[in-house]
């Protein structure tokens, strides 16, 4: 969904021809998987960070990303669905040595540069899963970024919904019920998406492990307790995003979902499901040879699995396969974000080396149940693990998962001091029980429901550079 399209209007013939090209490209991709085409001798990783533009005076969303980006020529920073959001992209790096310190330096430098330009416009950057100061009236088409791909997405989602409004229903500490007339609810949720380039030989195992670790990842990183003044889940972003792009479909065709099973043999099973089960949303016909997989990649970009396989091409035009781990919210700080990435990379590689047949030891249904329990209750959730029927998530992370992640990072070639520093942030966060969601709720318990003051303190701590477990309330 990152590419622009020339028009938002399509004819029936466009859908038919797109489906034909999608079939050709899906068959071609299946041949590539069967021939073992995908290889990645080195583990490579990167990330995307979605951020909010805020009015400096009130801490409310400011729909000015066009003005900001016009004054800031940086290809790693691009617009998002809403004009009060922007996206930061990282360079791809080998997961070795001091990689996480270099990731942090890159993001921190870029963040500060953009903030200087934002300041000149009376704006301020914020990274948080959901803005506590956000009001529903800000989520209107008048605040949609003026790109055809977003306009087309809105039109096609509501075509599949037969024009019916989106119904949002979330029950947490409090309850929220509302309806919305467009896809802009999606822009209320901002995330930190981790990318892992994988070798074809290990891709299926790493993809399944990414699903298995989604529960601890969302539990340690939860940062979205409030939406429209209601205290809901620790990571309210999860049900919000799933319902905001709903087309009224069954579990088989939900556009945003945890999935219905592990892959059996290959990530190719996802692309086969894309072709067989998901209606085309954006039938843009492109003048590209089948080998570029242009239609397959565009279609895949309109299906937002929480763990999503992606096909890309390197500078030499060679196809590459990566996993996009989408479960983590934005923020609370640069250090927290990079620590989350280190934990994920280490955990999936540590489990790959040490855990035999993990999908047989933890059923998909239990992995999915763990995920939504962690999204609801964060570090206090009770989850199942391979040989444990029930365990508090915080205990699982400190006693079992952090050592596995440390071993995984060592096996990748990450420096020991590097691993200790970044995983140390996760350890301290969990031991103190202070992720972003807990900090926000602790602030409200101490000061009341003044969300503007909450955001002022949150942003001040964020700009200090300290991780959230060191923030005073």
Domains of the chain are: 12-470 (3.30.590.20)
* pLDDT for the residue numbered 9: 76
Q: How many CA atoms lie within 13 A of 265 on its CB side?
A: 5
Instruction: Give, as one character, the DSSP assignment of residue 236.
Output: T
Give the pLDDT score at 250.
66
What's CA 293's distance to the chain center, in Å? 23
- Ranges in the chain, pLDDT < 50: 1
**Is the distance from CB of 343 to CB of 418 less than 8 angstroms?**
no
What is the model's pLDDT at position 349?
Answer: 98
pLDDT value of position 213: 98
Provide the phi-psi class of 162: left if phi over 0, else alpha when psi is between -120 and 50, else beta: left
pLDDT at site 7:
62
Q: Which residues pair with 194 in a beta bridge?
A: 47, 325
pLDDT at 311: 96
Tokens of 336: 């927290």
- What is the DSSP track for 31-94? HHHHTT----SS-EEEEEEEEEEEETTT--B---HHHHHHT---TTEEE-SBTTEEEEEPPPEE
Residue 251's pLDDT is: 65
Q: What pLDDT score was predicted for residue 152?
A: 87
pTM for the structure as a whole: 0.96
48, β-bridge pairs: 89, 193
**pLDDT at site 411:** 97
Q: Specify the pLDDT at position 4.
A: 56
* pLDDT for res 249: 63
Q: What local confidence, expressed as pLDDT, does residue 390 receive?
A: 96
Q: Given CA atoms 355, 95, 88, 195 in this order, what sign does their dihedral have?
A: negative
């Amino acid at each position: 969904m990152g590419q622009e399209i020339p028009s938002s209007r399509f004819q029936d013939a466009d859908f038919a021809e797109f489906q034909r090209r999608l079939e050709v490209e899906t068959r071609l991709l299946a041949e590539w998987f069967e021939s073992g085409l995908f290889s990645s001798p080195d583990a490579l990783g990167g990330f995307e960070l979605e951020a909010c533009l805020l009015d400096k005076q009130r801490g409310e969303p400011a729909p000015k990303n066009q003005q900001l980006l016009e004054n800031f020529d940086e290809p790693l920073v691009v617009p998002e669905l809403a004009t009060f959001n922007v996206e930061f992209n990282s360079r791809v790096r080998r997961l070795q040595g001091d990689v996480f310190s270099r990731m942090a330096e890159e993001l921190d430098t870029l963040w500060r540069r953009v903030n200087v330009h934002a300041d000149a416009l009376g704006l301020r950057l914020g990274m948080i899963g959901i803005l506590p100061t956000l009001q529903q009236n800000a989520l209107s088409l008048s605040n949609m970024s003026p790109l055809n791909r977003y306009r087309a997405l809105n039109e096609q989602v509501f075509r599949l919904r037969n024009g019916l409004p989106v119904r949002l229903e979330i029950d947490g500490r409090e309850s929220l019920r509302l309806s919305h007339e467009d896809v802009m609810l999606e822009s209320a949720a901002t995330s930190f998406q981790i990318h892992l380039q994988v070798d074809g030989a290990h891709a299926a195992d790493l993809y399944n492990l990414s699903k298995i670790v989604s529960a601890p990842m969302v539990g340690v990183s939860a940062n979205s307790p409030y939406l429209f003044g209601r205290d809901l889940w620790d990571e309210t972003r999860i049900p919000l995003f799933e319902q905001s792009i709903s087309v009224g479909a069954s579990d088989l065709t939900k556009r945003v979902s945890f999935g219905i099973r592990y892959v059996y043999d290959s990530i190719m099973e996802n692309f086969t499901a894309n072709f067989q089960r998901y209606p085309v949303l954006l039938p843009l016909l492109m003048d590209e040879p089948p080998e570029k997989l242009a239609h397959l990649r565009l279609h895949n970009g309109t299906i937002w699995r929480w763990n999503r396989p992606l096909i890309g091409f390197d500078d030499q035009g060679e196809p590459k396969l990566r996993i996009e781990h989408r479960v983590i919210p934005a923020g609370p700080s640069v250090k927290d974000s990079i620590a989350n990435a280190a934990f994920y990379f280490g955990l999936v590689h540590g489990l790959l080396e040490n855990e035999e047949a993990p999908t047989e030891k933890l059923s998909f249904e239990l992995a999915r149940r763990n995920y939504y329990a962690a999204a609801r209750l964060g570090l206090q959730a009770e989850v199942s693990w391979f040989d444990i029927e029930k365990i508090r998530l915080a205990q699982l992370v400190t006693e079992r998962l952090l050592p596995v992640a440390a071993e995984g990072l060592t096996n990748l070639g990450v420096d020991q001091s590097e691993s200790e520093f970044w995983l140390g942030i996760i350890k301290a966060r969990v031991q103190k029980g202070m992720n972003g969601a807990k900090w926000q709720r602790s602030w409200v318990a101490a000061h009341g429901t003044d969300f503007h003051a909450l955001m002022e303190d949150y942003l001040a701590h964020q700009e200090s550079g300290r991780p959230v477990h060191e923030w005073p309330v």
